[in-house]
Amino acid sequence: MSQSLSSSSHSGGIAAPVAIPIRALVPWAVFTVVLSLLLLYFVGAEQGATSLISGHAVHEYVHDGRHLLGFPCH
């Protein structure tokens, strides 16, 4: 009583991929790049002479992530 995959309850048609225009992807790609660079800055460089925010709050917040990713901090 085993059924093969081809005789299952599917309609048998293959779904065509949906075409997404490049213009729809560009804003999301730019957003992703900007967010990634911002995250990389805060994890990798937000301390000392390059610090945009005074104090050690950001440094302490990303401290473990900094070590996990191999950035030196002390």
Kindly state the tokens that stand for 4.
């093969």
Per residue in 47-59, pLDDT (tens digit) is 767 777 777 787 7
In the chain, how many domains are there? 1
Q: Per the confidence metrics, is the pTM higher than 0.85?
A: no
Q: Coil, strand, or helix at residue 6?
A: helix
Residue 54 to residue 33: CA distance in whole angstroms: 25
Residue 43 to residue 49: CA distance in whole angstroms: 15
2 inside domain: no
19 inside domain: no
- Full residue range of the structural domain in which residue 57 is found: 34-46+53-74
Whether residue 36 contacts residue 29, with contact meaning beta carbons closer than 8 Å, is answered with no
42 inside domain: yes
39 inside domain: yes
65 inside domain: yes
User: How many Cβ atoms from other residues are within 10 Å of residue 61's Cβ?
Assistant: 13
17 inside domain: no
4 inside domain: no
73 inside domain: yes
Per residue in 24-43, pLDDT (tens digit) is 999 999 999 999 999 888 88
